Amino acid sequence: MDLYEHQARELFEEHGIPVPRAEITDSPKEAREIARRLGGRVVVKAQVKTGGRGKAGGVKLAADPAAAELTARQILGMDIKGHTVGKVMLAQPVDIDSEFYVSYVLDRAAGRFLAIASAEGGMEIEEVAACRPETVARILVDPVEGVTSAKAAEIADAAGLPPRTVDVLVRLWQVLVREDALLVEVNPLVRTRRGDILALDGKVTLDDNARFRQARWGDGPQEHHDPLEVEAAARGLNYVKLDGEVGVIGNGAGLVMSTLDVVAGSGARPADFLDIGGGASARIMADGLSVILSDPAVKSVFVNVFGGITACDAVADGIVSAVDSIRLTKPLVVRLDGNNAARGRAILRDRAHPLVEQVTTMDGAARRAAELARTA
């Protein structure tokens, strides 16, 4: 379950991570009063579970309480990527010196968590990774050891973050562990001109399997979701709709994120994030393909699987099942490696579907999927 930004912010504050003062409302008139309490000048931010709010006009600076009321009135009710804005958060503005990116995400394939950090925050991490991959540090975290001060210092040093971020990195790990989260992200984490470290924005995804331990979240707040996300959730899939043209399927969040990077680096945009997990069956593979292929924006699909618990022959069986049960009109590029990869490749060769092709390397497969999307 994804949390809204204001809920992530509340978690950060509970765990001692500095955040600007902020309040939420669904009323333009109340927005005026909140702005007055916060000092007059505020940032008004749409509360929806999707990125790109700023580009869509969902984040604006208001100079005074009257402007805050007008801005809240403009933002409330907006549609941002299929999400209707029901609430806004008003936050005190910050005098920013530098912006950073930090996150922890579950890497199912590796059986560990992955710390991702960069001294270039404030923009899409995929864009940073594609244009300047050397600026993004990726460090595996042993879930038993966790993020100690020494581990946090290692992450900060690798990413070129200032030493004062070490304490925040430790506390973000505490958020992930104590709240049963699969993803904790801050973008941007900023250093103010006074030298303070603040979390200006946050994204937290909780593990649905741990809801019995996190009763305060209940079933989560309701909002309009993309129909494909609703369908995927009903099938038990970890799926997020994006804005591109290449569908991406992988097993493990770390592998999927890396796949998004290589697709972007090949000159295409990912159309989704779909993680079939570490023990995916042929049925799950077929369900994932069915969801992605029903997206009209998808021009090609890249299936990138490293066999571990998920054997590659099971994945291949799922692909065959999917293409035999639906009318396949979009090309699939498949890269299989690891457990039973040779058997999986043989299954696909024997089926010999004209729209399914195999490429042995991840980079090569990404380039081919991008090429097919461009020429579709």
Whether this model's pTM surpasses 0.75: no
Kindly report the average pLDDT of the chain as a whole number.
Answer: 90
Q: Among 26, 25, 68, 18, which Cα is nearest to 43's?
A: 68
Is 80:52 a contact under the CB 8 Å cutoff? yes
Confidence of residue 222 (pLDDT cuts 50, 70, 90): very low
State yes or no: is 101 an active-site residue. Answer: yes
Confidence of residue 104 (pLDDT cuts 50, 70, 90): very high
Confidence of residue 279 (pLDDT cuts 50, 70, 90): low
**pLDDT at residue 102 is higher than 70:** yes
CB atoms within 10 A of CB 134: 7
CA 169/CA 117 separation, integer angstroms: 10
Q: Point out the catalytic residue in the list 185, 229, 239, 245.
A: 185
**pLDDT at residue 310 is higher than 80:** no
Is 280:224 a contact under the CB 8 Å cutoff? no
Q: How confident is the model over 180-209, as a mean pLDDT?
A: 93
What percent of the chain shows pLDDT beyond 90? 65
Confidence of residue 221 (pLDDT cuts 50, 70, 90): very low
Q: How confident is the model over 19-39, as a mean pLDDT?
A: 97
Kindly list the structural domains of the chain, giving each domain's residue range(s) and its CATH number in brackets, ordered by start.
Answer: 19-91 (3.30.1490.20), 96-216 (3.30.470.20), 227-375 (3.40.50.261)
Is 10:200 a contact under the CB 8 Å cutoff? no
**pLDDT at residue 200 is higher than 90:** yes
State yes or no: is 185 an active-site residue. Answer: yes
Could you read off the pLDDT of 111-133 as tens digits, one per residue? 789 999 999 887 677 777 777 88
Q: How confident is the model over 201-224, as a mean pLDDT?
A: 72
Q: Point out the catalytic residue in the list 101, 104, 120, 245.
A: 101
CA 117/CA 294 separation, integer angstroms: 34
**pLDDT at residue 190 is higher than 90:** yes
pLDDT for res 262: 94
Could you read off the pLDDT of 136-159 as tens digits, one per residue? 999 999 989 999 999 999 999 999
